Amino acid sequence: MKIKPLVTATALGLGLGLGTAGLASAAQVTHLGGDITEEQVLSAQQAWGDALVAISNTYEAEGIDAARELAQEVIDSAYGYDMGAVLFKPTLAAAPQTFRTTPAGALAYFVGHSDEYSEDSGFALKGWQEVTIENAAILISGDVALTMGNVSILDADGNTTTVDKTWGYHLDDEGTLRIVLHHSSLPFSPEE
């Protein structure tokens, strides 16, 4: 299964029609020119959320090999590793492997089972059922789009994990938005 444009990965590439990712309208959209539309950005975000749930469901139904294969396809189609290093800082990655600038690092984070990244347990294998994305703002300029907001992920037990998420997209030569920046962190909670 080859996933082509990220903006159509959910419905066409994965063929899943899961409807698992929800999007709230951005509080603020700044468009400084270029060919990227807000709809493309929202579609790319939804495709990422649907892919996360699909990897989790694939793991549950078919095991680690099938989940790894799907995760690799998602990384190859959604992220811009073929254009250079991706600025990927996962939520639960620790030094000295905090930053995942290579496809191998991203794959290990999503599905674990890596000798090189032995601390990774596989973020995408946690029984995720639904992803909701709420943008605080979107900035579009030329062939780059940046987003910042919250991503809430529902697990099989009904627990929701919310992370602060920043994505940077680059419009590639085929007209596909590719993730070139992915920063995720747990929200700050001041001690009481």
Question: How many residues in total does the chain contain?
Answer: 192
pTM for this one? 0.84
Average pLDDT of the chain is 87
In eight-state DSSP terms, residue 126 is: S
Q: pLDDT tens across 47-104, in order?
A: 999 999 999 999 999 999 999 999 999 999 999 999 999 999 988 888 888 899 999 9
Which amino acid is located at 130 in the chain?
E
Instruction: Count CB atoms within 10 A of the CB of residue 113.
Output: 16
Token output for 54:
């699909």
The per-residue pLDDT for 13 is 37
Which H helix or E strand runs over 68?
Answer: helix 64-78
Cα distance between residue 160 and residue 186, in whole Å: 12
Run of H or E residues at 47: helix 38-62
